[in-house]
Structure 1
Amino acid sequence: MSLKGERLKDEGSRLQVTAAGATAGLISRFVIAPLDVVKIRLQLQHHSLSDPLTHADARGGPVYKGTLPTLRHIVRTEGVTGLWKGNVPAELLYVCYSAVQFTTYRSATLLLHSGLGEGAIPAPAESFVAGAVAGAAATAATYPLDLLRTRFAAQGNDRVYTGLLRAVRQIAREEGFRGFFRGLAPGLAQIVPFMGVFFAVYETLRPALSQLDLPFSSGGAVAGTIASVTAKTGTFPLDLVRKRVQVQGPTRGRYVHKNIPEYAGGMVNIVRTILRREGVRGLYRGLTVSLFKAAPASAVTMWTYERALKLYTSFGERRVEDL
């Protein structure tokens, strides 16, 4: 068998890649769920304790300051389970997203190889293109779950939605089909460069780091962490815009932040509005916890994916041998 054939065999079949991606997303999501809730709460907050207009603007919702104080506030006012609000749609999101992402990434890579020839373009560029395509496909396919995750994480004790199916019916009734795709434009604008940069950095660093004698064979996890932090920092403002657009609509004033601004116009106009009202700092609310979240999330995802893929591949090989 050729070297190319051996490599593709080691990468697993389409089903094995999909199953490994889904497994990685499921485990990763549960681990970082509390940080995700904190990030969303901070992103939706358009002022902080140090802002001069705090007392005028803060009525109707809590004012969070920092990751740990926000965690304590949620536990104190909503209980420990408050840290896992939106976890059901989020688990579905991460499983489906990871499965689509890894499957599309592999397919896009093979398509580039068949169309241009393997090695025709530099590996980082190839990873960028495949990663961007994978990110866009996964985002579009799973966006309604992302919107539901945000809305559940944004609601406090005064619940806007009492269950996942009821939320789907309510959004469909009050906002129509388009309501499930609020913020898709900034979502796609953010995920394409994010995933492109992520996979380009990851595939560049992974071979070198895998040669190092790191604990628990964590070269892939370290590469995933560095890649995620790099990509997240560069694209964070668009992620914040997406979150704020996702909670627009008839329920905007019912979330834990009852003073979420109403935004008009497209993505560029929303960015200008935030800059005018909150300054550059406003586009990066929640960045610190987002980076804290990105590191373990990417590390767990990539570490779990590689091991799950090896497990499923070895299981498939054993079944073939038994036949």
Structure 2
Amino acid sequence: MATTPTPHQHQREPVHKDPSSSSHAAKKGITAGTPSLTKAETVLCGSTAGVISRFVVAPLDVVKIRLQMQTHRKDLPAILRRKAAAELEHARMQRTGSSASSAERLASAEKVASLTRQANIKYKGMLSGMTVIVREEGIRGLWKGNMAAEYLYLTYGGIQFLVYQQTKAFLARTAQASAQRAVNKHTTAPIRIAHTLSSSSTVQSFISGASAGLVATAFTYPFDLLRTRFAVQRDVKVYTGVVQAFQHIYRHDGIRGFYRGMSPSLIQVIPYMGIMFGSYDTLKKVARWMKKKAGVEDSAVASSSPLISSAPAPVKAAGQILLGLEDLICGGMSGIISKTGVFPFDTVRKRLQIQGSEQQKYQYSSSLSSPTSRGTTGGALPNSVWKSMLHIVRTEGYLALYKGLLPGLLKAAPASAVTFLVFTQAGTLIERIRRPPPSITST
């Protein structure tokens, strides 16, 4: 944790980390990496970041979920080729009507119609999905299920950042306490290697992020399930509000109904949040290295992220703007990296979440434009995550696991970017309200 320099130190001396400050801050309940944020303030900043980021990316999330729920036959490309060939043949018959009997022309038309029904995909992509939703449901359809999602992100964001900060503080104290034992000449090589890894800021960020995602998901999963079900319902309104939805699920499916698809959620969130926070930590280091190479004074644009040990926030407005841009870029890139790695689990999770006593209503009213064809995944999936994944691959192909990846990435990038930006800026604002920075306008 960085010590707070006086105005003279800020001009003449580099900022040094005080090894004893971490334990001192921990005793006062202050989170590691940010000298002035208490646990309550960390929750407040995290919840604010979650709510704002959710509102920004809600339309992309709705389209992503609709694409993930849309099943189709594995042989769809072959069907499309046969459909194109049949249309050409039918057009030829129409031009040369005398050479084909009326029965042949009728059979050709029926063949084209049949193949058209089999190949009919309602949502063909991100832009197509948005267009269809706005045309059929209005602009508000892009924010369908947003109230349940806001409850989710409000609680998820607060819990996530609190657990992250506390876990990283614990790991930092543990690594510091074991430092002397690790360098002892009698210490075995595996222990020294383990200490080297545990003392790495990136490794600590990965473990802390994974722990934060695990705890936050376990606490907020029912809201995640409601978000998915609200997003996919269209014609038949199974749920009219959050309270009514809770009552409906409990009455029809019991307590277990609130946790359908939780296994793939936990399997997904551990590497997802670990990679996100770990890559964010690494990207921030790269950004600092690039600034150093570019000759940018660290005191002018010192990192003020409450997620890492840092110097006080810069006084200059230009420095604060650069930090905001840095958080946006690093946060967005970390979201893309983590989302791509775990997306198949997200698809399985969404499929499992709509199963239950009302599954057929979802299939009819959400993304399927025609009755489920034989050979699709319209039936119930196995409860096992891996069996469900194999079932989707067998019936729809490997690419089905990545349905909705583009809107998923377009959602993940701004979501993580806005989350990190809002959290760091909110933390900086709280710090300045409590302890205004020295009025330094030069250097």
Shared fold, TM over 0.5 = yes
Return the offset for 1:50.
5.3
Q: How does 1:117-128 map to 2 (within 5 A)?
A: 117=176, 120=195, 121-128=199-206
* Residues 36-55 of structure 1: pairs in structure 2 closer than 5 A: 36-47=61-72, 51-52=77-78
Q: Does 1:269 align with 2:269?
A: no
Q: Who is 2:301 aligned against?
A: none
The aligned runs of 1:33-112 (5 Å cut-off) are 33-47=58-72, 51-52=77-78, 63-112=122-171
Deviation at 1:184, TM superposition (A): 0.6
The alpha carbon displacement at 1:224 in A equals 1.0
Which residue of structure 2 aligns with residue 301 of structure 1? 419
Is 1:191 matched with 2:269? yes
- The change in CA–CA distance for 1:58 and 1:70 in structure 2 (over 3 A counts) is farther
| Structure 2: distance between partners of 1:177 and 1:78 | 31
Q: Structure 1: which 4+ aligned runs deviate by more than 4 Å? A: 6-9, 48-59, 210-216
- Which of 285, 288, 305 is the matching residue for 1:207? 285
Is 1:312 the equivalent of 2:430? yes
What is the CA-CA distance between 1:226 and the residue it aligns to?
A: 1.1
**TM-score, with structure 2 as normaliser:** 0.67
Match of 2:404 in 1: 286
Whether the 8 Å CA contact 2:280–2:330 is kept in 1: the answer is: yes
Cα distance, 1:312 vs structure 2: 1.8
For 2:50 and 2:382, locate their aligned partners in 1 and report how far apart those are by CA, in whole Å. 34
Structural mapping, 1:123-162, within 5 Å: 123-162=201-240
Higher percent of residues as helix: 1
The verdict on how the C-alpha distance between 1:220 and 1:274 changes in structure 2, with shifts beyond 3 A counting, is: same
Residue type of the alignment partner of 1:202? Y
User: Counterpart amino acid of 2:157?
Assistant: S
Partner residue, 1:246: 353
> Structure 1 residue 56: deviation in Å?
7.8
Instruction: From the CA coordinates, give the structure whose radius of gyration is larger.
Output: 2
C-alpha change, 1:310 and 1:57, in structure 2 (3 Å) is farther
Q: 1:78 to 1:148 in 2, by over 3 A?
A: same
2:52 match = 27
Question: Match of 2:147, SS?
Answer: helix
Count of equivalent residues: 317
Deviation at 1:207, TM superposition (A): 3.2
Structure 1 residues 103 and 289: CA distance shift in structure 2, 3 A: same
| From 328, 336, 340, the counterpart of 1:233 | 340
| Equivalent position of 1:15 in the other structure | 40
Deviations 1:59-93 (A, max 9, x none): 8x962101001000000001110000000010011
TM-score after normalising by structure 1: 0.91
Report the Cα offset of residue 12 of structure 1.
1.5
Q: Residue 209 of structure 1 contacts residue 220 of structure 1 at CA under 8 Å; is this kept in 2?
A: no
User: Once structures 1 and 2 are overlaid, which stretch shifts more, 117-126 or 74-83?
Assistant: 117-126
Q: Which amino acid aligns with 2:230?
A: F
User: Which stretch shifts more, 96-105 or 109-118?
Assistant: 109-118
SS of match in other structure, 1:117: helix
Partner residue, 1:220:
327
Shift of 1:157: 2.8
Q: Any conservation in 2 of the 1:43–1:243 contact (CA below 8 Å)?
A: yes
Identity %: 39
Deviation of 1:316 (Å): 3.1
Q: Deviations over 1:291-318 (max 9, x none)?
A: 0111111111111110011112222336
Q: Which stretch of the first structure deviates more once superposed, 109-118 or 120-129?
A: 109-118
Kept in 2, the 8 Å contact 1:100–1:134? The answer is yes
